[in-house]
Structure 1
């Protein structure tokens, strides 16, 4: 696990975008795992800028969203399919049919979850998975207590998560109680995981999953077992890390050829 501490969200987004650009330029058919929430937005802004100004192309790229609310109608402004389109895929040249998301409106949710797992496999697996982290340590919508080997499935949102997400709705009453999410085992299958987080509100979660024990009580801690994880955070999110100085030293002296 590599921890990189940068001054601001803009620099966090730019460094994560560097990893994605390197991947897409070397493998035009790359499969990206796409996250929503506030943390990935600087990444998507930077990728859109590079598409417009530097010709970065996504025409052959496939994207798989991490999760989706259950019960929101198709086209709802806060459905994650719409958020991904609005914040990223409609701003670049990725083909609409290459962007996939869990189906939160399916009559057969279990069948839809299985089909989503199979679709990821059929695409060759995720090359780079973008992640954020919740204040309670969730990744995707794998709330505390989730099996570390879990696959795509329906989950009940923790009340803290509903409160955190209520800022995107008119009131907390509009936030669904259930979601479909890639499981922790599904996320761990990605070849490279890039997790981004900014702000003091994420500092304890960062401390818990980077330096704490691996436990279902902190789902993101499973990333300690992943062979290629990059954690990119700002100074505010790093305030509780005991090893912050060591992480800064390691990144500051990293060989340029090594990349992310």
Structure 2
């Protein structure tokens, strides 16, 4: 695993955006695996800025998002479908037909099966990840088996609290209690993985991911077994690391 400790979130996000932009420039038909939450917002802002200033072309790019809340359709302002258009897709020239976000309504098992089939036929070139304070990647909470594929997840209380604070005005009752998420096996199938983490609240999870044992109790630790992972953290998220990176 390549680890970059950046001075701050701003620089870390610029570094991460450069990796994705270079990937798209080198392969205009890149398949991106994308993430939501607060972590990638600055990275997406940098992608938008580059597109407007330098014309990086996303017209042939496909994207597959990690997850979606159960019960929210794409018009709901807190849906991840809506999030992606607000922060990225509305501002670059990606074809909306090439955008894929898991479906969180209707026949959920059928939706999961369809997403798994699509991922089998479209191997992700670079998967963007954040990491939860409990070590989750996507919505794969502690205890998720390594061979899991797209599935319905019961969100842990810690995840509900975090998301309520960040996106639902502190109202835990408003946060859906389930999500549809790519599984760990889906994530590990990506050719490359790029993970970002910021702030002291992520420091324990980052230490476990990089320096702890590989265990289902810290899902991100499985990335130690992936052949091509870049982790970019700010100094606060790196504060518990013992090795020099």
TM-score between the two structures when normalised by the length of structure 1: 0.92
Deviations 1:229-252 (A, max 9, x none): 000000010000011xx21xxxxx
Structural RMSD (CA):
0.8
**Aligned residues, how many?**
243
- Residue 104 (structure 2) pairs with residue 139 (structure 1): no
SS across alignment from 2:237: helix
After TM superposition, which residue ranges in structure 1, 4 or more long, deviate above 6 angstroms?
none
- Give me the whole-angstrom Cα distance separating, in 2, the residues matched to 1:205 and 1:126: 25
Deviations 1:51-73 (A, max 9, x none): 00111111110010100000113
- Give me the whole-angstrom Cα distance separating, in 2, the residues matched to 1:8 and 1:109: 39
- Give me the whole-angstrom Cα distance separating, in 2, the residues matched to 1:72 and 1:95: 23
Deviations 1:99-129 (A, max 9, x none): 1011001x2211110100111222x310000
- Give me the whole-angstrom Cα distance separating, in 1, the residues matched to 2:114 and 2:94: 22
Does the 8 Å contact 2:74/2:80 carry over to 1?
no
Could you say which residue in structure 1 is the equivalent of 2:110? Answer: 111
Could you say which residue in structure 2 is the equivalent of 1:227? Answer: 227
- Residue 83 (structure 2) pairs with residue 83 (structure 1): yes
- Give me the whole-angstrom Cα distance separating, in 2, the residues matched to 1:103 and 1:199: 31
Could you say which residue in structure 2 is the equivalent of 1:51? Answer: 51
Does the 8 Å contact 1:12/1:42 carry over to 2?
no
- Residue 158 (structure 2) pairs with residue 160 (structure 1): yes
Could you say which residue in structure 2 is the equivalent of 1:16? Answer: 16
TM-score between the two structures when normalised by the length of structure 2: 0.97
SS across alignment from 1:10: helix
Could you say which residue in structure 2 is the equivalent of 1:127? Answer: 125
Deviations 1:195-228 (A, max 9, x none): 0011111101100111001000000000000000
- Give me the whole-angstrom Cα distance separating, in 1, the residues matched to 2:147 and 2:3: 24
